[in-house]
Structure formats: structure tokens, C-alpha cells
Amino acid sequence: MAINFSELATVGVQKITPYQPGRPAEEVAAEFGIAKPVKLASNENPLGPSPLAIKAMQAVHDLARYPDGNGAALKQKIAERHGLDVACITLGNGSNDILEFVTRAFVNPGDEVIFSRHAFAVYPLATLAAGGIPVETAALNWGYDLKAISAAITDRTKVIFIANPNNPTGTWLTETELRPFLENVPDHVIIVIDEAYAEYVTAEKFAGYPDCTQWLDDYSNLLVTRTFSKIFGLAGLRVGYGVSSPELADYLNRVRQPFNVNSLALVAAEAALDDQEHISQSREMNQTGMAYLIEQCEQRGLAYIPSAGNFLAIDFSRPADGLFEAMMQQGVIVRPVANYGMPNFLRVTVGSEEENRRFIEVLDRVSNDV
């Protein structure tokens, strides 16, 4: 008789819908016979990694040895970057790792975890895997309704996840909005502010966007996560970090694999932090590309959600699955977001100039047919 794994799995895991990653370019190339597909599905950096990061990895020769399980050198660099003590830093195999540490370390079966509708898919995953109860609050203009989140807090609430900016909507919260909210979160709740896209948010365009890594003194229940996967262009290496009070970091580190960040990722991340030019270039490319995509949307009468990230959620006012498929067959991979409660939208990552142009070209070619 076939084993019923569904019954064997924990109650939380039974409820998990697996994460749907963007289609790999190689797979699309093979399936549709496209020489060079354009992948704008996972918010990766079109410039690639910093050359300094590549050079640092090439100098690593002792892969037979375990990495520094403490990640001392990288932590030191991160601590300097944010003006924090090294004891505030927790390293992760991607910032995804940190999001899971929080639920593993703090969520007992039956505890509640709050996040907003249209928020990052990893929050419910991490919650259910730990046996927690996901509590989804309503959105406000596609963004967060902090009043609704406050109202959802109960004695069983353990964690609140907030992405700023949020993925896949690109919406962002200002200091003026976040401060009064945080003041009122009770001490038994860990607040996670996920700043995966923080480096893309420029003060000129997004006045009042806060750097919450600077708020640790005010809230000892605050954890801020950052990643090397987005502007630093190292998504394939899997490295990210959290900053929090040392007390909170101590508990996160208890559930961390002893060698969770590999040797190549450690040196590459260190080098990437030093490459200010690569960061500026990436930011500029994003601004130019975002302006282009917005202009093209407006010319075509397409609505979009204004975005502080490196991606744009475009509203096609009709189910967008067919459009996604048709574009993929023409070698342009974007992200359908029906699983985020946004069936009429496609999320497109801001690519290089050429990639963005190809996206628009292919969109024009197929949009009348589907």
C-alpha cells in the first residue's frame, strides 16, 4: 500500500503550499527553443555580482575545510556598516534562513504570526513549518494596513513580519508610519522588518523611508533582515543577515546550522560590501530602468503599483496567466502573482536596458492575443 505522507507530515507542513520560484532561463530556453531568454522573474541584479566579489571567491583554495562557523570577518564588516556591535549580527544562508530562525526559535505550535495580504510568500511558509498559525491582515492600497496589524495582535502573537519595501507589491512604509506602530507592539512579540530591497530606496525619491537597522536601541524585540541576493547580486550564493539586540541574536543563533554560510559566500559578501561603485551603478541602472518601464506602462494605459524596489507589479485588469505563458514562449520570463492574491498582475524585475526593451517588445507582440 502507498504510504500516506500527508498523514505522516506535521499538521503545519500538511498546510504548506510549496514556494514557486521563477522559471530558470535554461529550462525556458530548452522548452521553447529560445537562444537567450530574458529572466525578469526573481528580482536579481542585471549587472551581476561585484567584480571584487568574484575575485575574492577565486582566491579561496581551501574548500576541504569548513567555513568559519562564526563568520567573524563578515560580521565585523556588517557591524561597521551599520555602526553596531558584532553581537547584534546573525548570518544566514540567504535572509530566508533568518526568517526561519525566528519562527523556529520563538513560535510554539498554536502561536500566531501576523503578516499582511500580498506579503512575501516565505512568511506563511516559515510560520506553518514551525506549527504556528498564520494571521493574514487586510491590505490598504496594496500596501500594509498597520492599524489592522495592531488590531490583530493577541496574547498568542509571537512574530509580526513586515517587508519594507514589500515584495511583490513594491509598497513601502515611512518612519512616520512605522514609529507609532512599533511603540505599541507589546514585548512578547518579535517584530521582523525585512529590508531585502533597502539599498534600492533612495532618499530623494522616497522621503521618510527609514533604515530600521538604526532603531535597535529603541526596540529590543526588533529584528531587521538584509540580504546579499538583491542589489549585491549574489542570489546564487545564498547569504543574508539579521540585526537585532544581542539577546535576540543569541536565540536566533541557537537554531542556526553551525556552518550555515559557506566559504565562498563569506568572502564574496565581504568584498561586495566594499564595492561602493557596484552598488551605485546597480542603483542607477534600476532607476533608469524603472523610469523606462513606468513610462512604457503609462503610454499603454497600464496601471502599476508605484515601487520602491527593483521590480514593478503591473495591472492588466484581467487574469494575467495567459500573458505570462505567451511571454515566456517568446523568451521573456516574468512572475505571475496569482498566488499572492493578485491574479491580474505580473511582477517584472527591472533588468538591463536591453532586457527592459525586450520585455516591452514581447509584451506588445503578445498582449492583443491573450
Ligand X SMILES: *Cc1c(COP(=O)(O)O)cnc(C)c1O
Kindly state the smallest distance separating residue 61's Cβ from ligand X, in Å.
26
Cell numbers found for residue 282? 546597480
Q: Residue numbers of the site for ligand X (CB under 6 A)?
A: 43, 94-96, 120, 163, 167, 194, 196, 227, 229-230, 235, 240
Min separation Cβ 43 and ligand X, Å: 6
Question: Is 172 in contact with 126 (CB distance < 8 Å)?
Answer: no
Find out whether 96 and 122 touch, Cβ atoms under 8 Å: yes
User: Measured between alpha carbons, how far is 125 from 97 in angstroms, rounded to an integer?
Assistant: 12
Nearer to ligand X, 196 or 264 (CB): 196
User: Given the C-alpha cell 536596458, which residue does it identify?
Assistant: 353
Q: Please say which residue, 111 or 194, places its beta carbon nearer to ligand X.
A: 194
Report how far apart, in Å, the C-alpha atoms of 166 and of each of 1, 54, 162, 353 are: 45, 29, 8, 24
The residue type of 61 is H
Distance CA 136, CA 158 (A): 14
Reduced to 3 states (helix: H, G, I; strand: E, B; else coil), residue 223 is: strand
Contact 324, 346 (CB under 8 A): yes
106 or 120: whose CB is closer to ligand X?
Answer: 120
| CB-nearer residue toward ligand X: 116 or 229 | 229
Chain residue whose CB lies nearest ligand X: 94
The CB-of-242 to ligand X minimum distance in angstroms stands at 11
Min. distance of Cβ 355 from ligand X in angstroms?
18
The cell numbers describing 247, all together, are 539577546
- Judged by CB, which is closer to ligand X: 210, or 240? 240
Least Å distance between CB 120 and ligand X?
A: 4
